[in-house]
Amino acid sequence: MALVASVVAGKVAQLLAANLGAAAAEVQTQSGAPAPQLSAAQVVSGNAPPDLVEKATGAQYPQFRVSCERVTNSLREKFRTFSGQAQVVVETLVTQDRLEGIEDQLQACVESVTTVLDQNRGDWGEGALYNGGYDIAFGAVKYGGRNFLQSARVTITVDVSK
């Protein structure tokens, strides 16, 4: 099951790395609100707390942390070794030195993530199928990063059959 988790999280990270910049430009065009410049280097895989990552390797913000939070093998399909779901989380982190506008910046980043997900519904290959839908949880502003740090978690469910 660990392989399923890494494969699905890797697919989400690849989709975001390849399409996030264009999605941010699209969000900026549609909403008129300024969106940050996003690049593939800001998408990282792993399930480590932001403060630990920042101290160990330094961080480039906004940051998009992709990890698989849960894998369920419900054996819905007979004669398959794995037939179930993987729950993937994209944690979006933004930071700045002032409180004003941090939530707007976070919402623009989250909108960019959901735009990429909406544009990539369907078969992702290797038995992964994303039907759409996501759950977003916004966190409170706290100290960190450049002074203030805010995060949001976008959770998606991917059907997997191997």
pLDDT tens per residue across span 6-24: 999 999 999 999 999 999 8
Read off the pLDDT of residues 27-86 as tens digits, 9 standing for 90 and up: 888 877 777 788 888 898 887 777 777 777 667 889 999 999 999 999 988 888 899 999
Q: From CA 32, how far away is CA 52, in angstroms rounded?
A: 35
pLDDT on residue 153: 97
pLDDT tens-place string over residues 95-135: 999 999 899 999 999 999 999 999 999 999 989 999 999 99
d(CA 7, CA 30): 33
Kindly report the pTM of this predicted structure. Answer: 0.90
Average pLDDT over residues 149-161: 96
Q: Is the dihedral of CA 49, 54, 58, 61 positive or negative?
A: positive
Q: Domain 2-161 is in which class?
A: alpha beta
pLDDT band at 147 (very low <50, low <70, confident <90, very high): confident
- The whole-angstrom separation of Cα 132 and Cα 159 is 10
Structural element, H or E, at residue 160: strand 147-161
* Helical pair 102-119 and 2-31, crossing angle rounded to 10 deg: 120
DSSP symbol at 5: H
Q: What is the CA radius of gyration of the chain?
A: 16
Residue 131 to residues 7, 156, 159, Cα–Cα distance (Å)? 17, 9, 8
